[in-house]
Amino acid sequence: MKTLVTCALPYANGPIHLGHMVEHIQTDIFVRFLRSQGEQVVFLCADDTHGTAIEISAEKQGITPEKFIEQVSNDHQAVFRDFQVSFDLYSSTNSPENQHYAELIYNRAKEAGFIGKKAIEQAFDETANRFLADRFIKGECPNCGTKDQYGDACEKCSATYGPKELKNPYSVLSGKTPVWKTSEHVFFQLPKHEAFLKEQLAKPGFMNPGLATQLQQFFKKGLADWDISRDGPYFGFPIPGETNKFFYVWLDAPIGYISAAEVWAKQTGKAKSALDFWAKDADARIIHVIGKDIVYFHCLFWPSVLEVAGLKVPEKVHIHGHLTVNGEKMSKSRGTFINARPYLDVLDPNYLRFYYASLLGPGPEDLDFSLLEFRQRVNAELVNNLGNLANRTLSRGGDHLPKLGKTLSPANEALGGQLVRDALAKVKDIAAAYGAFDHRQAIKLILEIGYSANQFLAKAEPWKSAKTDLEAARGVLSEAAEIVYLLTALLDPVVPALAQKLAEQLNRPKLTFKALQTATYPLLDRNVPIGEALPLITRIEEAVVAKLVIAPKEEPKKKEAAPAAAPAGPAAEIEFGDFVKVSLRAGRVLAAVKVPKADKLLQLSIDLGEGAPRTIVSGIAEAYQAEQLVGRNVVVVANLKPRALKGIESRGMVLTSGPGGKDLVLLDPGDVAPGTEVK
RNA sequence: GGCCAAGUAGCUCAGCUGGUUAGAGCGGCGGUCUCAUAAUCCGCAGGUAGUCGGUUCGAGUCCGACCUUGGCCA
C-alpha cells in the first residue's frame, strides 16, 4: 500500500515564516519515519496561487500574476529545501493538471446534480471594476463605531455582521464607496452530503475528536450551499460553460493535492496517474496535514467534493496548532514575526527541527517559540546529551587518541548487553510516537536512551582503565558506540543531516526503523572500522538567537520632543511641580540583546503603548540575561532626553533599585498594559 | 455573541476507566568527574492542580457555574 502525505498549500502571496515551518517540519519528520519503516511514501506540496489577493499583489509590482507566483514559488521551494523538507515534488495550483482535475471534478458534481445557481448581492467597486470580497471592504463598525473595520467582524468589540451593515463603507482598492450589485453565483450543494459527512467525521482516526465535535455545529445550524464561483476579473480557472466566472480559490486549492500527484506520476513514471492514489479503489491511503484554522475546508467541503467526484476520501487529516513567539502571536510590529529565510541566515535548521519536534504533540494545541527555551533545550538536549555522547564515545575510539585505533572490540554481552537491550526496548514506542505525530514523546524516549548511555560511561569510567588496560577501555566505548549507532535511525526523521554525520563517523550506513524491528544485540559489526569523529553540532549562542527578534527598523517619533527636567542636586528638595515633569510609564520588554563590547549594557526594545517600540539601552547586563527580560514589565522614564550609548540612541531609562552591578533589581509595575502611567 | 478545545512546579509536558506522601525533562541551587562540544554524572529546592460549588467513603481525574487563553462561525 502506498501512502500519499501532503502539507497544506502555502498561499503564494508572501514568504514562508516559522509558523509554516511547524507544519512542514512535523510532516517531514512523519514522512521520513515512514520511509525509514520501509513504507512507500510520496510527500507532496504545492503553492496555492489563485485569488484576488495574488492578482493585486502582482499588479502592485507591475508584473503578471504568473510571473509573481513563479518568483514566490522559487523562494518557497528554496526555503523548504534548506530546512531539509523532503518533498517528492513541490507543485503549483496554476498548472494544466490542476485545471484538468478542477474541471473534471466540477463536471462530475454537475452531472451528479450537486451544482446549483443563485443570485447574490455583493459590493462592487466601480473604479476598480470588480466585486469586493469582505476583506476588501472597510468601514465603521455598526455596533461600536470603530473605524477601518473589515466587512465581517469588529476587532474592537468583536461584533459580527455583514459587509452591508458597515457604516460609511469604502473599497480598500480605490477608497471609493462601493455600490451593491447582484450576480449569479455557482454553488456546491453541501446539504446533500449531510449523512455522508456525519459518517465520515465519526470514523476513528479521521480527525481530532474535539474538532469533529465542533464541526457538529454546522449540522445543527444546517449546512448551507457553498459558493464556489467568483466574478472576473479573477486570477484562477474559468468555470466551464459559464461566462466571466472563475472557480473560487478554495475549490481548486485542495485539488492541487491531486494534480501534484499527477505531475509527480508524469515526471517520475512511478505511477500511471494521480488516480493510482485517488481512485476510490486505489491501494493507497491519503494523509493531509493542516493547521486548525482550515479545518472545515478539509473536513467538510473537501471530503464532499471528493465523494461526489467518485474519488478517494483521505484516511486522516492531521491537525496541528499555531506558533506563538515568546508567548504571543507573531507580530510584525513587535519584531516577533520571524520569516524562515532570516532564520536560516543565522541558524542551523537542525536546531529548529529538533526544537519543534521536542514540543509537538499529537493534538491541535499551539506551541511557543520561546527564544530562551529554544536555546536552552537545544543546547542541553541535542548538543550536550546526544551530540556530546557521540563525540565522547567516538573521538576516543577514533583518531583522538591514536593508541586506541579505529577498530572496535568484540561484542561483550556482559558489559553492554543490558544497555543496548534497554534501548532497543524503547524503539517500538518511539516508532509508535513518530507514527502518531507525537514527536515530543519520541524525543523524550530518545533522550532517555542518551541519558542511559552517558550514565553507562560515567559508571564504567573508561578514561581511568585506559591508563592501565587499553582493551578494557576500548570495550566500554565500543558498547557505547552501539547506542550512537542506534541514534542514526532514531534521530534520522528529526535531524537527518546529523544522523547522516553520525553514520559517516561510524563509517556505516544509517540504521533504519525497518532494520530495528528485528535487530538484536550487537547492532554493530565489530569487524568494520569506524571513521573519524568530529563534534556533531555546536551550541546556540545567545547573541545569535537575539538577532531573530530585534525589530529591523524603528521609526523615530518626532512628536515627543522630550522636555528636559533640570537636574536637581542629589539630596536637594524639589518642588512637586518638578516631580510631575518626570513621565513614568510601564513598559513591556519585547526584545533584548547584549550590546557588543560593553559588559553592563543591554539594548532593549520596549513597548510603551505608542505603536512603535522604543530602543532603550540599560546598564543591567550583569544582573540580568537578555532573554529572561523578554515579556517582562518594567518602569521607564519616558521623557528623558535621548542619549547615545555605545553609538546606540537610547530613548528613555529603565528604573532599578540596588547598589548596581550584579546587585540590582528591576522595578516591576505589575501586570498592567504597556504605556500605563506610573505615579 | 455562539460553539469547540485547553488551563497540573519558573518553562514544556506525564498522570489508564476517581483510590496510598501529584511525576519527568528543561531552567535554578549544591556537589562530582575530567573521556568529551566548560560536556557528563550525583543530589536538593519548587505545586492549597484557574476559581467557586456539587456528587462520593475518597476527585487533578466525574458534574455545574464562572475566569483566562486559543481556534472556528461558510
Q: How do strand A130-131 and strand A137-140 relate by DSSP bridges? A: unpaired
Architecture of domain A576-666: Beta Barrel (2.40)
Minimum CA–C1' distance nucleotide for A214: B4
pLDDT recorded at residue A566? 32
- The reply to whether the CB atom of residue A366 sits less than 7 A from any atom in nucleic acid chain B is yes
Quick one: average pLDDT of A615-625? 72
- Residue A573, pLDDT score: 47
CA–C1' span, A363 to B50, in Å? 21
Return the pLDDT at A564.
Answer: 33
Does the pLDDT value for residue A363 go beyond 80? yes
Instruction: Band the pLDDT of A504: cuts 50, 70, 90.
Output: very high
Mean pLDDT of A482-499: 97
Q: Which residue has the higher pLDDT, A61 or A673?
A: A61
Verify if strand B has an atom below 7 Å from the CB of A296: yes
From residues 248-287 of A, list those within 7 angstroms of strand B by Cβ. none
Q: Which nucleotide is nearest to A447 (CA to C1')?
A: B25
Please enumerate in sequence order all residues whose Cβ is within 8 A of that of A204, keeping only pairs 6 or more positions apart, or say none: none
Asked whether residue A464, judged by its CB, lies under 7 Å from any atom of the DNA or RNA strand B, the reply is yes
Q: How confident is the model at residue A668 (pLDDT cuts 50, 70, 90)?
A: low
Strand B atom within 7 Å of A214 CB: yes
pTM for this structure? 0.83
- CA dist A49 → A154, A343, A467 (Å): 28, 25, 66
Mean pLDDT calculated for residue range A89-115: 96
pLDDT of residue A158: 61
**Angle of helix A65-82 versus helix A52-61 axis, rounded to 10:** 100
Over its C-alpha atoms, chain A yields an Rg (Å, rounded) of 30
Cell of A11: 498561499
Residues A429-439: what's their mean pLDDT?
94
Long-range contacts of A64-71 (CB under 8 A, 24+ apart): A65/A235, A66/A94, A68/A12, A69/A12, A69/A94
**Lowest mean pLDDT segment, chosen from A437-446, A490-499, A563-572:** A563-572
Map out the domains of chain A as residue ranges.
Answer: 2-104+249-349, 112-193+210-246, 367-516, 576-666
What pLDDT is attached to residue A628?
65
CA of A466 vs C1' of B52, distance in Å?
A: 65
Distance of CA A258 to the CA centre of its chain: 24
Residue A170's φ and ψ, nearest 5 degrees, are -145, 155
Indicate whether A353 pLDDT > 90.
Answer: yes
pLDDT band, residue A670 (cuts 50/70/90): low
**A132's grid cell:** 469586493
Of the candidate ranges A89-98, A247-256, A458-467, the one whose mean pLDDT is the lowest: A458-467
Q: How far is CA A644 from the centre of its chain?
A: 37
Q: Which CATH superfamily is domain A2-104+249-349 in?
A: HUPs (3.40.50.620)
A292 touches strand B (CB under 7 A): yes
Say whether the CB atom of A368 is under 7 angstroms from strand B: yes
- Mean per-residue pLDDT of chain A: 86
**CATH class of the structural domain A367-516:** mainly alpha
Q: Do domains A112-193+210-246 and A367-516 have the same CATH topology?
A: no
pLDDT of residue A611: 57
ipTM of the complex in this document: 0.94
Residue A662's pLDDT is 56
pLDDT digits (tens, 9 = 90+) for A275-307: 999 999 999 999 999 999 899 899 999 999 999
Res. A343 pLDDT band, cuts 50 70 90 = very high
Å from the A296 CA to the B64 C1': 31
Q: Which fold has domain A112-193+210-246?
A: Methionyl-trna Synthetase; domain 2 (2.170.220)
Q: Above 80 in pLDDT, residue A70?
A: yes
